[in-house]
Amino acid sequence: MALAGYFRGAPDLSILARRWDRLLYGSDFPNVPYAWSRELAALREAKLTRDQARAILSGNARRLFARA
């Protein structure tokens, strides 16, 4: 919700580029009070590399749960 700008104030998207290797994307879709695409639009706005975006959206979770 913070990434989608649901809360007051603009989210600090710079953290995505700084900590892309430690972030996991999660969603409560379809139970969100805004268009789901807002989150993906924010990721595009952050100007991440393809590898960084892929890590946040799926790769980091795969890496984490492979260890379980």
* 46: CB partners within 8 A, 6+ apart: 13, 14, 16, 17
Secondary structure (3-state) at 11: coil
CA distance 15 to 31: 25
CB 21 within 8 A of CB 55: yes
Domain ranges of the chain: 14-66
Residue 68's pLDDT band (cuts 50, 70, 90): low
pLDDT tens-digit profile of 24-38? Answer: 998 888 888 888 888
Contact call for residues 10 and 17 (beta carbons, < 8 A): no
The pLDDT tens digits for 7-65 are 888 778 888 999 999 999 988 888 888 888 888 888 888 889 999 999 999 999 999 99
pLDDT above 80: residue 2: no
